[in-house]
Structure 1
Amino acid sequence: MAAAFMLLSSYYMLNKRWPTFIIMFTVAMLCHPSALIGLLMLILVYRSTALVANKSKAKYIGLIIISGAVLLIAVNWVSIASWAINTVHILPSSFKYYITIFSTEQKDRLIGKQYFFDLGIANYIEVAFRIAIFFLIRKRLKNEKSFEATFLRNANTFNVLIYLFLFLIFKTSYIYRLTMYLDYLNIVSLSYGSTGMKNLRCTKTDALVLITTFAFFIIYYFIFGCHEVIPYKFVWN
């Protein structure tokens, strides 16, 4: 629910309807406090896209500042998160789970507890599908020049890079809790510019999108039962 409301908030962000954007973010936070992570990701992608679109030389200063901030957070994220939780209390105490997962060695994790997961074949299948969806979105948005399309393209790239980086470094599947707020934008990206239903026609890209996403659903959620979809029941059951 939190990710769904953050998807709505991204629409209002792109249209600069800030009061509604704030309302949607507030509702998302009421659903789950990790929406704050989604907000930071959306702002980062939005500001980066806006700076690149800016034709003045000042954009390079802004990009340097953003890059420096991201690097600073990446290096000191445990200290920053602990400070935000224990000192200024702007993050809920439940965020301590994230610190534990992403700051301990895999052999030292409490495998089997609520927030810890072993890596299995399903996780590597998910990575493969994420990469496939990444290229599908690049293909879908290839000839689109609007700010919205550029934002979606950048969000897709940032999302995949963050997921692969954290997956390879921390060896945990729990990173989807961080990237899901950008995952929901894939719904818009994969259907961007499609006129298949309107013109009663299906392009090769439309077919690839349908086949890939349906295969992902069947294999990842239905066959492997990931994210507690065990056993899966169809709507008529």
Structure 2
Amino acid sequence: MTDLFGSYCARMFRHKLYIFGLAAAFIITYFISANGAEILPLHNINNDLECAKLASLGIPAFFSLFTAVFLGAEYFGGAIRNKLICGRTRREIYFASFGAVALGMLIMIAVWAAAALLGAHVLPDGSEIASCIVRTVFYDIANLSVLVLVSMNIEKEVLSAAVAIMSFQASFMAVILMQAIMGMTGDGIGAVLRALINVIPYGQWLSMSLIGDTSIAFTAPVQIVISAVSAVIITAAGLHLMEKKDIR
């Protein structure tokens, strides 16, 4: 499977959309980290990393499109069918695809973190920075597992991209709405909504961001465990669906 993973990575690193995404991630994050305290209409900014956290939402937003485009090309060109004919298993194809896109996402997170630190004038202590980066990695991996499930099981590239982008928009709006409702409900319903927010990757992003209420956040270790378990379950479900799929 190593050579299959390598071939996916080689194609991804040459992909113009991915290269553009890396450049955009650095430029946008650096600008917001360096200037966010002055340009953002928020009054609760304690350090510049908090501004950069807002920019980190661009990572899952970008991969909502890129994952569908990158993996969808495998179906469009008949590459997956050819790999199966050559003796590759669906499990190998699925995990090589997921691994390559996950590596691409980790590189973008590293670019985001570097830009955030380089552009910042005021930073929190090292433990807070490390916690932020680790949580970002895990909730983005959990989100990516959903995107790979969609992309590997919907053959039409345009439909796959539409579903992925709509899931991003729907999930983001859902956690914003649930946070607003929490302030108008009792403890019972509020606890349920809080749990749902922390299960959804964008909810974890919201809990760390300037526009989120700190009361919605679970502790960092709990959020990391939730993201890890979610990624495993969703990946297993995606692989199961692909193994049952009739690939033409």
TM-score, normalization by structure 1: 0.29
Which structure ranks higher in relative contact order (CA pairs < 8 Å, sequence separation ≥ 6)? 2
Choose between structure 1 and 2: higher helix proportion. 2
TM-score, normalization by structure 2: 0.28
